[in-house]
Amino acid sequence: FLSVTGTPQEPSKAGCSIADIAAGMYAYSGILSALLLRARTGVGERVEVTMLEALGEWMSYPLNFAHYGGTPPARHGLAHPSIAPYGHYRTGDGGSVIFGLQNDREWQRFCLNVLDDAALANDPRFTTNLERVNHREALDVEIGKHLNRMTRDELIERLDQGGIANAPLNDMHDVWNHPQLAARQRWREVATPAGSIQALLPPATLANAPARMGDVPDLGEHTAAILGKLGYTEAQLEALRQQGAI
């Protein structure tokens, strides 16, 4: 994962714990599969998931690309190895927008409708995608000159009007306040030992079985109940408390 993630100069780790999340997702699907199998056969299953194998599955495309194609994918940051312009661009107000052009027709629309620069549209260095990829650095310089005179919102509006795929580069505060999450009523209030917090509903929504968002338990809150189900007597539990074990 690190070998294909980051800039050409430096690899970069992901912004979240992807191996843990990947293994958890496959454990979840594996448990569901085992439950379905048990319902059909009456026999239980042992479910094993490793983080290595979970990430191996996630990396199947670059893994096969390198093994059968002979050349491992290079790191390109947010750029695309075979499309230009494509990636992260800054605007004059310090904003950041990610966009990419899929074909030469979009390049013409981008120059005329977004940048308002007919001359750039016909610059022989950039008229085809192949030429734009070959002159990527010069292309980004030319685009940057125009974007320095725009705000983030203005650029997004022009890209939308031109039918060019784009999105703002959101930080964590932007995601927390994202209007789509509010419009779909994805937030719920959950009690914790330290007070109430806002938490997102699980991504999968079932029409007839809404998700249950229970309170977050305190550390050790259910220890006695669990040990009791395992056969521990109250005297044994008290002895464990005296020893500081629970």
Q: What is the pLDDT of residues 107-151, one digit of tens each?
A: 999 999 999 999 999 999 999 999 999 999 999 999 999 999 999
Q: Domains in the chain: how many in total? A: 4
Q: What is the mean pLDDT of the chain?
A: 96
* Mean predicted confidence (pLDDT) in 225-246: 96
Q: Is the dihedral of CA 236, 237, 243, 246 positive or negative?
A: positive
Which of 69, 97, 116 terminates a domain? The answer is 69
76 within some domain:
no
75 within some domain:
no
206: containing domain:
179-211
**Is the CB of residue 168 less than 8 Å from the CB of residue 156?**
yes
Pair of tokens at residue 55: 């990430």
10 within some domain:
yes
Which of 69, 103, 126 terminates a domain? The answer is 69
Are 205 and 227 within one domain? no
Provide the pLDDT for residue 56: 96
Are 206 and 220 within one domain? no
Are 153 and 187 within one domain? no
Are 26 and 98 within one domain? no
Are 63 and 111 within one domain? no
Residues 53-84 pLDDT 10s:
999 999 999 999 999 988 888 999 999 989 99
φ/ψ bin of 103: left (φ > 0), alpha (ψ from -120 to 50), beta (otherwise): beta
pTM of this prediction exceeds 0.85: no
The three state secondary structure string of 64-88 is HHHHHHCCCCCCCCCCECCECCEEE
Provide the pLDDT for residue 46: 96
* Mean predicted confidence (pLDDT) in 201-210: 93
Are 138 and 192 within one domain? no
HSE, CB side, 13 Å, CA atoms: give it for residue 12: 13
